[in-house]
C-alpha cells in the first residue's frame, strides 16, 4: 500500500495503480485548484499533469459555452 497525503501531513492509505508507471506530484494546476488545492495527485508521467490540465481547461470552456447545459447546471460550468 502506498502512503499518500498532503503537505500538511495528513495521510491516506491508497492502493497504487496496477501498472506502477506513475508518480505522485503536488497539484499545480488552476482548473481544479479550489477542489484539490496543494494536495498530492497521481499522474502517469511527469508531463501528464500539464496535458490533463490543458484538456480540463478546454472541456470547461466547451461546457461553459454549451447551449445544451440545463440552466440549473450552468452555475457549475
**Contact of 31 with 39, CB cutoff 8 Å:** no
Q: Express each pLDDT in 20-56 by its tens digit.
A: 678 889 999 999 999 999 999 988 877 789 998 999 8
Report field, pTM of the whole predicted structure over 0.85: no
**Contact of 27 with 38, CB cutoff 8 Å:** yes
Amino acid at each position: 500500500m502506498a502512503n499518500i497525503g498532503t503537505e500538511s501531513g495528513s495521510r491516506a492509505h491508497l492502493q497504487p495503480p496496477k501498472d506502477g508507471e506513475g508518480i505522485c506530484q503536488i497539484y499545480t494546476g488552476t482548473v481544479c485548484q479550489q477542489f484539490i488545492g496543494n494536495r498530492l495527485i497521481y499522474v502517469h508521467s511527469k508531463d501528464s499533469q500539464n496535458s490533463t490540465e490543458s484538456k480540463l481547461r478546454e472541456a470547461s470552456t466547451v461546457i461553459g459555452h454549451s447551449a445544451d447545459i440545463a440552466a440549473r447546471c450552468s452555475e457549475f460550468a
